[in-house]
Amino acid sequence: MAKIEDQNIPAELKDLYDATLRPAADGIVGGRTPFSLPSSQNPPLGNPSAGRAYVRKIFKECAECFGKQPLTGGVEPPAIGPRNRSWWYDNDPGTPPIYYNWFMKQSLDIRFAGGWPDWCKEISTEEDSFVENSNPGINFGGLRYANMLHYEFGGPIRAWGCIKLPDYAKGISLYFSRAPADDTAYPKTIYFHKFLSAWEENTITWNNKPAIGDAEGAITFGSVLSFSYWKTVQLPQSLFGWAIKWSETQSGQNALYFQTKEYPNPAYRPIILV
């Protein structure tokens, strides 16, 4: 793919990009710049207003992900997580193989299609829990699920999911399920609020939970969750993690839960976007 002017690294950000793209002195990846995208990807995601700033943002995310691919590792890559440089080199179909180009092409294709590459994800080992006003002094850290509840009978009942992310995370994917108490008032949206002070997985309760800020992320469920499925949200950095809760103006009976890092099958644990 030929380099094009519109997607060259802006001069004021060149040092940042170069630092990201030179994790090893191997002479192959150093100094590379963005390449042109297939015509089907222009404008990005069908949004003419996104323009160059959006392209640079996506390129930077992919370049940072490349920087997290380890120099060495096992022969077989994980289903979720970074793949070592040897794997990328060996599987590059180019002649000669320039694995950085191939990595970026695949990663950009997925990002501009609205997805997130599996090699730019990590299975979470961060803290997660939930708090519930009907059991205000009980800590639920260590359970394999986290409740988010908002309904009026028998209470009212409220429960918030709680999760921490590493400082390099770009967001998270959670495996949601619909609880029996949930009604059919769809579509509906659940929100991510920053915690404003510290908490710990094994001590947080409804009584001692930190204050929260305004919502800074959201997931909308467009139709009834007959079973379960993954939902992804991109989030800014949060020093103390996130409370996941319904709006206080939400109507109906709302009862969802997600699988935590303690879930027995790692394929359903939270996945961090990196």
What's the mean pLDDT when you consider all of the chain? 79
> What mean pLDDT is predicted for residues 34-62?
56
Report residue 144's pLDDT band, with 50, 70 and 90 as the boundaries.
very high
Higher pLDDT: 4 or 134? It is 134
What pLDDT was estimated at residue 78? 84
Contact call for residues 47 and 33 (beta carbons, < 8 A) = no
Q: What tokens appear for 105 in the block?
A: 């092409």
Contact call for residues 204 and 144 (beta carbons, < 8 A) = no
Percent of the chain with pLDDT over 90: 43
**Whether the predicted pLDDT of 259 surpasses 70:** yes
**Whether the predicted pLDDT of 226 surpasses 70:** no
> What mean pLDDT is predicted for residues 23-37?
38
SS3 state at 24: coil
- Ordered by start, the domain boundaries in the chain are 5-120, 124-273
**Whether the predicted pLDDT of 238 surpasses 80:** yes
**Whether the predicted pLDDT of 2 surpasses 50:** no
Instruction: Supply the pTM of this predicted model.
Output: 0.77
Higher pLDDT: 127 or 11? It is 127
**Whether the predicted pLDDT of 48 surpasses 50:** no
| Alpha helices for the chain (secondary structure H) | 14-21, 51-67, 85-91, 99-112
**Whether the predicted pLDDT of 107 surpasses 90:** no
Angle between helices 51-67 and 14-21 (to 10 degrees): 30
Question: Which CATH fold topology does 124-273 show?
Answer: Jelly Rolls (2.60.120)
